[in-house]
């Protein structure tokens, strides 16, 4: 027989904060757990498992909506996993796009910074200049 856990214990066990646990419940992402006589949430092992799954997905950058989908799918054990595959690949593509966006950004910032001596006056500042309209197209993103 599994001793139920209180919300603070679940928070420690999953790494999800107490407020966030309540927030997920409010969203309907997880079913509300049983309650004690004193109206405390009493989480069982299945709740814990579900929440750890969510935490892992969130660490991997899935949106709550994607997590919802993955949760739904993970319970249909007899269905094909192509949909799971699709969601995950889609997410990877998004992440890869974000990486290349940020790389381009970092390059522009490095170029801008490299031209600043750091001790001149604002009036001559290459950074402010680069941020102002009319800058050379090479520095645009």
User: DSSP assignment of 15-36, as one string?
Assistant: S--HHHHHHHHHHTSSPPPEE-
The strand pairing partners of 41, in sequence order, are: 35
Instruction: Tell whether residue 90 is a contact of DNA (CB under 7 A).
Output: no
* Footprint on residues 14-73 left by DNA (CB under 7 A): 17-20, 22-23, 36-41, 58, 63-65
Phi, psi of 34, rounded to the nearest 5 degrees: -60, 165
- CA of 44: how far to CAs of 18, 27, 32, 102, 110, in Å? 16, 19, 11, 42, 51
Interface residue list for DNA (CB under 7 A):
6-9, 11, 17-20, 22-23, 36-41, 58, 63-65
Interface residue list for a copy of itself (CB under 8 A):
49, 52-53, 56-57, 59-61, 70, 73-74, 76-82, 84-85, 88-89, 91-92, 95-96, 98-99, 102-103, 105-106, 108-110, 112-113, 116, 118-125, 127-128, 131-133, 135, 141
């Amino acid at each position: 027989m599994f001793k139920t856990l209180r919300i603070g214990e679940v928070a420690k066990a999953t790494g999800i904060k107490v407020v966030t646990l309540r927030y997920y419940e409010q969203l309907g992402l997880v079913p509300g757990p049983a309650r004690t006589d004193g109206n405390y949430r009493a989480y069982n092992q299945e709740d814990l498992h579900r929440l750890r799954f969510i935490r892992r997905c969130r660490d991997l950058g899935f949106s709550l909506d994607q997590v919802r989908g993955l949760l739904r799918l993970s319970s249909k054990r007899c269905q094909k996993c192509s949909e799971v595959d699709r969601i995950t690949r889609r997410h990877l593509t998004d992440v890869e796009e974000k990486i290349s966006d940020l790389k381009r950004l970092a390059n522009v910032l490095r170029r801008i910074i490299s031209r600043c001596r750091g001790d001149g006056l604002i009036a001559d500042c290459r950074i402010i200049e680069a941020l102002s309209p009319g800058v050379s197209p090479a520095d645009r993103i």
